[in-house]
């Protein structure tokens, strides 16, 4: 006999409680803080007609990312998620809302042609059904919070999308892992299509499907002109040495080398079509090795060292990304630079440079860049560019430095501020260092003239010569405020050695009332009970290091070592501590684990 309508309604509302009662023994035998087994008792939301399918597409465009799409209102509501789904409970990743896509896009796997919007390889990475708590997905989307249950082939469990802000007409969201943690995928499964079981490389190689976006090309004439100039620069020059217009004379070593570079068959004497193909995407910056003295031999060129934020500018059609060395997006922070890169007369390029703020004497100042200037002045911001890594579908990293810089100089012709070309200032390092020091500048960067670009490496083909003692340190805590100062007295900083955070000293100067307040708020979010430094407290010559006794340790405020500070100082003391350190600002472009003792 079927139950009456009234009984059915009552049972439906009692279901969660009855489920928990029936699972009493199951729950009593388990500690759900230690096991990932489902706790039970939470009913699955109902399916909503027209809002049930989801798809995640892995998309290798200017940067590898994941497109998260939910069927809703007859379209696919879409978000670009740079780091993909978070798997650990409480973990959150950025999700940028993008334009709605047609429903048929949910099954697309293949190639978006280069030059088209979003050009690159697309994989159907996961698909399935989704449910929304509250069972009103359109309303939840409008209100800025979607609590989802995903039933995919890879993603199973709860996630929540939360809108946090709107920038440049785009809604910025966070996608959080709610509910229990999920086990991350294996490397093989992560690069496997749920539609065809192919890898990204196999999809790209087979090239069996294309998606056209119908986006019109812009500035075609300017781009064609630039390509002609580039081809002329890289074109092989035959009959080297037969130029009758040049008077006969003995070549210098440099002229001989340049002639060899132009000789047919030499690896760097390529025309643009002969260079390897490459998409416009983030390339990890090449790193200089610190040296105390200039190298005694070798063919080196020297450029000014800047005190700013290293950035890779990626232009893909009308889209521009400005990315720090640890892959933070800087476009919204420095929109004037992104706009200037967009105006370059080329469809695609990847440029290495440094964002700097200039003081009244034209010197770069990291402190000004961090907007911590005591008088609140706004300094002019510039993007000094010094290397070109990709251009119109071709990789340039295997070209010699001299040729890359020549191409970059041509690309920057006629471009005014905020973009500035950083060229060679000379080859005599000792005399240059004396002048740089006299002018109060940061130092020099030396580069071997024929060096290739080595992404992410510190090979020694690039070096840095500093005129001031300045480097990054990890913040591990702070002292209580004293006298009239508010918030805190000094920060406690250190560096990593053998995966241990070692104490380098207390930094109590360089702060303003505003910066003390901002930093204190940041520190409070990372508070911890124990000291993160492996060597505190400790004694040197029978004395407690910097007067930090065990009793004083109890008065310190400790934080997780996630913040990196730029510190200027007079010298290292004999016991390896900073003398006269000054805080310049926080570095958001540096991984704390990469901070080491540089001297």
For 149-207, the pLDDT digits (tens) are 999 999 999 999 999 887 655 688 999 999 889 989 999 999 999 988 889 988 887 76
pLDDT at 442: 79
pLDDT at 215: 38
pLDDT at 234: 41
Checking if the pLDDT of 293 tops 90, the result is no
448 — phi, psi (to 5°)? -70, 130
265: how many CB neighbours lie within 10 A of its CB?
Answer: 6
Strand (E) or helix (H) holding 78? strand 75-81
pLDDT at 310: 95
Checking if the pLDDT of 65 tops 90, the result is yes
Of 58, 177, 195, 305, the catalytic one is 305
* CATH code of the region 289-466: 3.30.470.30
Averaged confidence pLDDT in the chain: 80
Cα separation, 135 vs 119, in Å, equals 36
pLDDT at 46: 64
pLDDT at 287: 93
Calculate what percentage of the chain has a pLDDT beyond 70. 78
The domains spanning 289-466 and 470-594 adopt the same CATH topology: no
Mean pLDDT over residues 201-226, rounded?
A: 56
3 state SS for 426-459: ECCHHHHHHHHHHCCCCEEEEEECCCCCCCCCCC
Checking if the pLDDT of 9 tops 70, the result is no
Class of domain 470-594: mainly beta
pLDDT at 48: 64
pLDDT at 270: 40
Checking if the pLDDT of 127 tops 70, the result is yes
**51-60, 80-89, 106-115, 153-162, range with the lowest pLDDT:** 106-115
515 — phi, psi (to 5°)? -70, -35
pLDDT band, residue 73 (cuts 50/70/90)? confident
Checking if the pLDDT of 44 tops 80, the result is no
Using a cut of 0.95, tell me whether the model's pTM lies above it. Answer: no
Mean pLDDT over residues 88-104, rounded?
A: 89
Cα separation, 597 vs 595, in Å, equals 7
- 305 counts as catalytic: yes
User: In the structure encoding, which two tokens stand for residue 330, read together?
Assistant: 């800087």
Judge whether 156 and 38 are in contact, CB under 8 Å.
no
pLDDT at 27: 62
Checking if the pLDDT of 216 tops 80, the result is no
Domain boundaries, the chain: 1-40, 53-206, 289-466, 470-594
pLDDT digits (tens, 9 = 90+) for 540-594: 777 888 888 998 899 999 999 999 999 988 778 878 898 889 999 999 888 899 9
Mean pLDDT over residues 218-244, rounded?
A: 39
Q: Tell which wins on pLDDT, 392 or 274.
A: 392
CA atoms within 13 A on the CB side of 526: 16
pLDDT at 377: 45
pLDDT at 208: 62
182-to-152, 234, 397, 408 alpha-carbon distances in Å: 13, 52, 39, 46
Q: Tell which wins on pLDDT, 97 or 271.
A: 97
**3-7, 131-135, 316-320, 440-444, range with the lowest pLDDT:** 3-7
pLDDT digits (tens, 9 = 90+) for 459-514: 899 999 887 778 899 999 999 998 778 899 999 999 999 999 999 999 998 898 88
pLDDT at 322: 96
pLDDT digits (tens, 9 = 90+) for 135-149: 788 888 888 899 999
pLDDT band, residue 354 (cuts 50/70/90)? very high
């Amino acid at each position: 006999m079927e139950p009456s309508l009234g009984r059915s309604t009552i049972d439906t509302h009692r279901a969660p409680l009855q489920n928990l009662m029936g699972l009493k023994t199951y729950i009593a035998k388990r500690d759900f803080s230690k096991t990932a087994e489902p706790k039970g008792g939470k009913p699955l939301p109902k399916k909503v007609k027209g809002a049930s399918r989801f798809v995640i597409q892995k998309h290798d465009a200017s940067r590898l990312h994941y497109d998260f799409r939910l069927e809703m209102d007859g379209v696919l509501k879409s978000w670009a998620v740079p780091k993909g789904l978070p798997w650990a409970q409480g973990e959150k990743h950025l999700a940028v809302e993008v334009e709605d896509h047609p429903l048929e896009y949910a099954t697309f796997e293949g190639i978006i042609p280069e030059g088209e919007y979003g050009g690159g390889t697309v994989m159907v990475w996961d698909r399935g059904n989704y449910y929304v708590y509250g069972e009103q997905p359109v309303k939840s989307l409008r209100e800025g919070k979607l609590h989802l249950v995903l039933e995919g082939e890879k993603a199973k469990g709860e996630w929540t999308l939360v809108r946090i802000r709107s920038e440049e007409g785009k809604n910025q969201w966070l996608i959080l892992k709610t509910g229990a943690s999920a086990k991350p995928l294996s490397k093989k499964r992560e690069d496997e299509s749920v539609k065809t079981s192919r890898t990204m490389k196999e999809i790209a190689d087979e090239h069996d499907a294309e998606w056209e976006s119908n986006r019109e090309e812009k500035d075609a004439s300017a781009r064609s002109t630039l390509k002609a100039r580039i081809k002329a620069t890289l074109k092989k020059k035959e009959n080297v040495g037969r130029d009758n217009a040049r008077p006969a004379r003995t070549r210098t070593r440099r002229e001989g080398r340049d002639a060899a570079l132009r000789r047919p068959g030499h690896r760097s004497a390529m025309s643009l079509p002969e260079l390897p193909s490459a998409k416009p995407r983030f390339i990890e910056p090449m790193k200089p090795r610190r040296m105390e003295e200039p190298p005694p031999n070798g063919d080196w060129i020297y450029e000014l060292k800047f005190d700013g934020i290293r950035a890779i500018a990626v232009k893909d059609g009308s889209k521009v990304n400005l990315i720090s060395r640890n892959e933070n997006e800087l476009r919204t922070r420095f929109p004037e630079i992104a706009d200037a890169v967009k105006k370059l007369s080329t469809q695609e390029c990847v440029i290495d440079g440094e964002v700097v703020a200039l003081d009244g004497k034209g010197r770069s100042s990291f402190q000004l860049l961090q907007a911590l200037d005591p008088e609140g002045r706004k300094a002019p911001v510039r993007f000094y560019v010094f290397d070109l890594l990709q251009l119109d579908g071709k990789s340039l990293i295997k070209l010699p430095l001299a040729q890359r810089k020549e191409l970059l100089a041509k690309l920057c012709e006629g471009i005014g501020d905020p973009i500035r070309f950083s060229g060679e200032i000379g080859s005599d390092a000792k005399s240059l260092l004396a002048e740089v020091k006299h002018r109060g500048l940061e130092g020099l960067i030396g580069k071997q003239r024929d060096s290739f670009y080595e992404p992410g490496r510190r090979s020694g083909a690039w070096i840095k010569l500093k005129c001031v003692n300045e480097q990054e340190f990890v913040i591990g805590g702070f002292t209580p405020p004293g006298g009239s100062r508010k918030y805190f007295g000094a920060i406690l900083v250190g560096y990593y050695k053998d995966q241990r955070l070692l104490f380098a000293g207390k930094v109590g100067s360089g702060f303003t009332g505003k910066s003390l307040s901002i930093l204190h708020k940041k520190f409070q979010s990372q508070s911890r009970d124990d000291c993160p430094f492996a060597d505190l407290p400790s004694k040197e010559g029978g004395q407690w290091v910097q007067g930090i006794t065990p009793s004083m340790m109890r008065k310190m405020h400790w934080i997780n070592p996630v913040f990196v500070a730029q510190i200027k100082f007079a010298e290292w003391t004999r016991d390896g501590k900073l003398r006269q350190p000054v805080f310049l600002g926080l570095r958001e472009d540096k991984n704390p684990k990469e901070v080491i003792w540089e001297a």
